[in-house]
Amino acid sequence: MTWVLGVDSGGSGLRAALAPADDVTRAVTAVSDEPVRTGPDGADAGHLLRLLLPMVRSLLLRAGDGAIASAVLGAAGMASLGGPLRARLPDALSAELGVRSTALAADGVTAYAGALGQRPGAVVAAGTGMIALGTDLYAWRRADGWGHLLGDAGGGAWIGRAGLEAALRAHDGRRGGSAALLARAEAAFGPAEELPERLYPRPDRPAVLASFAPEVAACADDDPVAAAILTAAARHIADTAAAVCPPPARGGGATRGGPSGEGVEIALTGGLFKLGEALLAPLRRELAAQLPHARLTSTAGDPLSGALLLASALHSGDLRLPPHPTLLYLPGAAATAS
C-alpha cells in the first residue's frame, strides 16, 4: 500500500492522518493535545518531531504494510516563523519515516485546501489565531496571521484577551468593564488579581487566551460588552477576508481553474466559528457590506483533510495550488510570491 500523510499543528495540539494515496477518505488519525512548543524562532522543530514520529509510527502499525509516498505538514506560524521547520522537517521525515516528498504549509493553506480544494477563492481560517488566504491559482494573497501580539485580529486569542480585559476593567471599576465576564474569568482562572501571574509565564498563552472566547460568546446575548467584542471581531475578520479576495482575472478572462471577480467563493473554517450565531450573525452582516458580490460557501473539510488532499496531489503530480516560499514550501520547487 502507498500511503500519504497529513499533519495539522495548531495552538491546541497536533493531529496526523494516514490514508491510501488514491483514497484520502479512508484515513486513520492520531491526536495529541499537547501543542508544539514555540520560541524566538517559531515552532520548535525538535519538539514537533518528538510528538509526531511516534504518532505516525503508530498509524503505520494500525494501517498495515506500505510506504509513505508524500507528506504535507500544515503548522500555525509557518508563514512568519517557519524557518526551522523548513530547514529540518523534510530531511527528518525522509530519514525517520522514508517519506519520499514533503511539502510544508501554513495552516491557512491546509485550511484553504480543506475548505475549497484546489479551486480559486478565499478562505478565512480562524481558531486560536486568524489568517485569510486567497488565490487565483497563480499567486497567493495573504492577510494577518501575524500572531497574538501583533495581529490575528478577530481570532480566538484576540476575543479571549478582549474579554479578559473587560473583566479586569470591571474588577478595577473602570468604564468598559463587564461584571458577567469578570465572574466567568474568576471561575475559569481564579482571583482576577492573580491572572497576570497565571497567564504571562505560560508558553501556550495564545491557547489560554483563546480558551476564554467561548465565555465571551456565552455572555453576548445578555451582556452588551461581550456582544460588542464579537461585533468588533466580526469586523476584523471581514476586513481580512476583503483583503485577500482574488482580483479580476488577468487580461479580463477567467482565472486558472475558474471564474474571478464577482461571485468569488469565500469559506470560513476553524474552531472559532463554533462560537455560533453570536459571532456568525455580525460576521455575515460585515461580509455582505464589504463584499456584496462574494458567495459565502460551506467548507468541504478541515485543515487535516486539506493536508491529506495536498499530500495526495503532491504524490500524483496534480498540485494546483501555487507554491510559495513560506505559505506552501516545496523543497526544490520554484515559488510564486503574492
Residues 6 or more apart whose Cβ sits within 8 Å of residue 17: 5, 6, 7, 27, 28, 29, 30, 59, 304, 305, 307, 308
- State percent of the chain over pLDDT 90: 63
How confident is the model at residue 333, as a pLDDT?
58
pTM of the model: 0.77
- State percent of the chain over pLDDT 70: 91
Q: Is the pLDDT of residue 256 over 70?
A: no
Q: Quick one: average pLDDT of 218-230?
A: 96
Q: Would you say the C-alpha torsion 301, 302, 304, 307 has a positive or negative sign?
A: positive
How confident is the model at residue 248, as a pLDDT?
55
In sequence order, the β-bridge partners of residue 329 are 104
Q: Is 265 helix (H, G, I), strand (E, B) or coil?
A: strand
Q: Quick one: average pLDDT of 96-105?
A: 93
Residue 101 per-residue DSSP state: E
Q: How confident is the model at residue 247 (pLDDT cuts 50, 70, 90)?
A: low
